[in-house]
């Protein structure tokens, strides 16, 4: 198990490098296994990357029929609300990648019948013991990952694989999130963070500060942190890895 920090100049470089590596890695995995499970994240950094990924995936060897998409977290809002992480990702990826809806495992939307806790239990059942090949994660200025927020009930230890989150410090207040042990059922975790606002959260997470949920997330094989200079600006010198 290893952690690697990849420092890049700016946010655009992060999007290009992550999109390029993700496409290459998925194609490589598809050569040796029938299905690849990719867990997606929400957030501006990821959305920018998805746009470039969709461009690169056009005319590539990526086989969308061998890809299963999952989500690390979802904003619990109505199905057509553009704030949904899944809509934001799928609307970008589907420009060139034709993934069947049966292989696109979106978390439930708010429909007035079930609350986020019931919907989380439903997703837990859908997930079963699926382990992700790659999990993408953003990180908040406050250090949250997926919808696990520091000093908040969402970061309390739980035996659940998926939880409903209420009173989230970030809008919208109701969410669904994989828990830390579920995120850790990933062969590889790829963090994406850009901008100086993330520097403190990134530095504390990489230093293993238990107050920061990101410190507890590791791929079984590898954990990558793709950072621009702003997000990496508070890292000690030992984290200066060449690209």
CB of 226 to ligand 6PG, least distance (A): 12
CB of 91 to ligand 6PG, least distance (A): 15
Per-residue binding letters, 133-152, with ligand 6PG (x by CB under 6 A): -----xxx---x-x------
Taking the C-alpha atoms of residue 91 and residue 80, their distance in angstroms, rounded to an integer, is 12
41 contributes a contact to ligand 6PG by CB under 6 A = yes
Which of 73, 133, 174, 228 forms a contact with ligand 6PG (CB under 6 A)?
Answer: 73
Taking the C-alpha atoms of residue 40 and residue 104, their distance in angstroms, rounded to an integer, is 10
CB of 170 to ligand 6PG, least distance (A): 6
Whole-angstrom Cα Rg for the chain: 17
Which of 26, 45, 180, 199 forms a contact with ligand 6PG (CB under 6 A)?
Answer: 45
| Residue ranges of E strands in the chain | 2-8, 36-40, 67-71, 73-75, 132-137, 162-165, 175-178, 186-193, 222-228
222-228 and 186-193 strand pairing: parallel
81 contributes a contact to ligand 6PG by CB under 6 A = no
Taking the alpha carbons at both ends of the chain, their separation in whole angstroms is: 19
Helix (H, G, I), strand (E, B) or coil at 60: coil
Piece of 42-50, 116-124, 178-186, 210-218 that binds ligand 6PG (CB under 6 A): 42-50
Contact footprint for ligand 6PG (CB under 6 A): 41-45, 73, 75, 85, 138-140, 144, 146, 170
């Amino acid at each position: 198990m290893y952690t690697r920090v990849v420092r890049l100049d700016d946010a655009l470089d992060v999007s290009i490098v992550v999109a390029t590596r993700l496409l290459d890695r998925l194609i490589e995995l598809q050569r040796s296994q029938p299905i690849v499970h990719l867990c997606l994240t929400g957030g501006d950094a990821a959305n920018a990357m998805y746009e470039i990924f969709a461009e690169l995936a056009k005319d590539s060897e990526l086989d969308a029929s061998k890809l299963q998409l999952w989500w690390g977290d979802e904003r619990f809002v109505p199905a057509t609300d553009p704030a949904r992480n899944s809509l934001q990702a799928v609307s970008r990826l589907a420009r060139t990648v034709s993934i069947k809806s049966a292989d696109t495992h979106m978390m439930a939307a708010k429909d007035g019948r079930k609350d986020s806790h019931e919907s989380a239990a439903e997703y837990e059942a859908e997930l079963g013991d699926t382990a992700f090949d790659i999990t993408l994660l953003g990180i908040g200025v406050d250090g949250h990952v997926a919808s696990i927020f520091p000093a908040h009930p969402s970061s309390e230890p739980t035996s659940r694989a998926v939880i409903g989150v209420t009173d989230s410090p970030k809008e919208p207040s109701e969410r669904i999130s994989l828990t830390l042990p579920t995120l850790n059922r990933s062969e590889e975790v790829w963090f994406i963070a850009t901008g100086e606002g993330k520097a403190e959260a990134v530095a504390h997470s990489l230093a293993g500060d238990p107050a920061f949920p990101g410190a507890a997330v590791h791929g079984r094989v590898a954990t990558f942190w793709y950072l621009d200079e702003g997000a990496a600006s508070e890292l000690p010198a030992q984290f200066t890895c060449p690209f």
